Structure 1
């Protein structure tokens, strides 16, 4: 009999080996994002802001969508643009608030364009975006 802890450790490997349809984007989140943003989209206090309940705040403000694609974890990721777009769409669906906007889906072309311009001061940019009023 296999211990529950062992099964939890093997789950990502099984998903990855099951093929791309099962490996993405939830597994990409597990492998590339949850170390900082936690499994529930939470924050690492003082270091990494939460995604859960906050991602739609960026989508509702000027420059917020572009900001998401330019943060260091996205801009410097080794994932291809199409997988990042799928991952970002999953994050919006998974961690958006109940009032989540019906924002357009992220596309590979859009990700490719914006991730080429990584942010030099993401904290200052984040504050500036969140200080703006939401788009109408």
Structure 2
């Protein structure tokens, strides 16, 4: 009887210690981002950007990659750097799969940790500048986001 209890407790402990699933990351997105960007990522332009097939343009520069983490809702979210990395990479692949560059590299934990600590003074102006600088069409790439 005791060994059954121990086995059940061990299984439960392992389940909670395991890396987050997509469902867990989606829950974090809904909790920390979805209030403004909405569950489907459409936001409320122009103040709250639409995530859907728009963020891939920001991946063309390190400043754009940093911006994804520096916006107030991300940089100030009460989550670890590792968890924020999971959330940002999830939203990139979930809402931008069709437009991700063929050479897309997910953000790293170190990249997120460093960018997160740099204060973004004017998110709207910065986003506009970064998107103008990218001059890359929003659409492109093969279905699924990779060529």
Q: Give the TM-score category using the shorter length.
A: 0.7 to 0.9
Aligned residues: 118
Q: Give CA-to-partner distance per residue, 1:92-116, whole Å, 9 cap, x none.
A: 1001051311421112211111110
Question: Could you tell me which residue of structure 2 aligns to residue 54 of structure 1?
Answer: 54
Residue aligned with 1:39, SS: coil
What are the equivalent positions in structure 2 for 1:34-45 lying under 5 Å apart? Answer: 34-45=34-45
Q: Considering only CA atoms, is the larger Rg found in Structure 1 or Structure 2? A: 2
TM-score, normalised with respect to structure 1? 0.77
Question: Could you tell me which residue of structure 2 aligns to residue 127 of structure 1?
Answer: 128
My pick for the range that moved more, 41-50 or 66-75, is 41-50
What are the equivalent positions in structure 2 for 1:2-41 lying under 5 Å apart? Answer: 19=16, 21-22=20-21, 24-41=24-41
- Residue 41 of structure 1 contacts residue 51 of structure 1 at CA under 8 Å; is this kept in 2? yes
- Residue 58 of structure 2 contacts residue 131 of structure 2 at CA under 8 Å; is this kept in 1? yes
- Residue 81 of structure 1 contacts residue 108 of structure 1 at CA under 8 Å; is this kept in 2? yes
Q: CA deviation at 1:62?
A: 5.4
Question: Could you tell me which residue of structure 1 aligns to residue 9 of structure 2?
Answer: none
CA RMSD across the alignment: 2.0
Q: Residues 59 and 29 of structure 1: is their aligned pair in 2 closer, same or farther, counting only changes over 3 Å?
A: same
Q: CA deviation at 1:123?
A: 0.9
Question: Could you tell me which residue of structure 2 aligns to residue 14 of structure 1?
Answer: none
